[in-house]
Amino acid sequence: MSETKINPQEKKVWAAVGYLWILSLVALAVRKDNDFVRFHASQGSLLFVLSVILWFIPILGWLLNIVVFVAVIVGIIKALQGERWELPLLGSMAKHFGDWLIKALKL
CA atoms within 13 A on the CB side of 90: 20
**By the 8 A CB rule, do 44 and 27 touch?**
yes
Q: Write down the pLDDT at residue 2.
A: 44
Q: Write down the pLDDT at residue 99.
A: 85
Q: In one letter, which amino acid is 6?
A: I
**Ranges in the chain, pLDDT < 50:** 1-2
- pTM to 2 decimal places: 0.84
Q: Show me where the domains of the chain are located.
A: 8-104
Q: Tens digits of per-residue pLDDT, 45-74?
A: 999 999 999 999 999 999 999 999 999 999
| Residue 73: Cβ within 10 Å count | 11
